[in-house]
Amino acid sequence: MRRAKVNINDRFNFKSRGYVVGELIDAGAFGKVYECKRIGAADWDLAVKHVELSASEAQIIGVDAEIKILMQLKHPYIIKYVESFTPDNYNICVIMEMASGNLRDILKEKKEKQERLTEHEALVYFSQIVQAMSFIHSNNVIHRDIKPENILIGLDGKVKICDFGVSR
């Protein structure tokens, strides 16, 4: 039997919420992140993270933990939250600003071209990461999963910490 592939646009009725979802950008351990934009917009300037929780995960963490934390943390070096939908108790869709990529992929691409970050670039990123962490901690939040995959570089070229999925 052929099963029709249900597109995330239809599954969560993004159109009725004013958005279009495009290609998959990347998938982490929990979420799938797609390009996204407001209907009629020219550029894919947003990203949507879809997380599907298992019944046991839903019981332990609940759908709104990551959203609550991200909503609260407004900082130039933290990915900007736009809005979120929890269609049911197991699904989370978080719309956020688009970034250009994660630090793991950026470093990998450089390596393949036998390049590396300049000392200055590394210092600038490091300083921005430290400032973001300091801000996160001053809000009594711990990220608990800082690694290159969760450090994005924004369209403005600056660090954008993402993935508050296991934060407290």
Ligand X SMILES: Nc1ncnc2c1ncn2[C@@H]1O[C@H](COP(=O)(O)OP(=O)(O)O)[C@@H](O)[C@H]1O
* Residues belonging to the active site: 145
Binding-site residue total for ligand X (CB under 6 A)?
20
**Binding of residue 31 to ligand X (CB under 6 A):** yes
Among residues 60, 47, 41, 61, which one has the least CA distance to residue 93?
Answer: 47
CA atoms within 13 A on the CB side of 71: 9
152 binds, among Mg ion, ligand X, none (CB under 5 to 8 A by kind): ligand X
Tokens 């071209």, residue located: 113
Q: Is 66 in the site for Mg ion (CB under 5 A)?
A: no
Interface of this chain with ligand X, residues 41 to 80, rule: CB under 6 A? 47, 49, 79
Single out the residue of 129, 44, 36 nearest to residue 85, CA to CA.
36
Q: Least distance (Å) from ligand X to the CB of residue 61?
A: 12
How far apart (Å, rounded) are the C-alpha atoms in residues 163 and 168?
A: 12
79 binds, among Mg ion, ligand X, none (CB under 5 to 8 A by kind): ligand X
Region label for 106, one of left (φ > 0), alpha (ψ between -120 and 50) or beta (otherwise) = alpha
Q: Give me the least distance between CB of 63 and Mg ion, in Å please.
A: 17
Query: What does R_g of the chain's alpha carbons equal in angstroms?
Result: 17
**Min. distance of Cβ 159 from ligand X in angstroms?**
13
Q: Is 163 exposed, middle or buried (0-12, 13-18, 19+ CB in 10 A)?
A: buried
In the complex with Mg ion, the residue whose CB is nearer, 18 or 148, is 148
Selected binder of ligand X within 30, 44, 90, 135 (CB under 6 A)? 30
Exactly one of 28, 62, 76, 101 binds Mg ion (CB under 5 A); that residue is: 28
Beta-bridge partners for 19: 38
Tell me which residues touch ligand X (CB under 6 A).
25-26, 28-31, 33, 47, 49, 79, 96, 98-99, 102, 149-150, 152, 162-163, 165
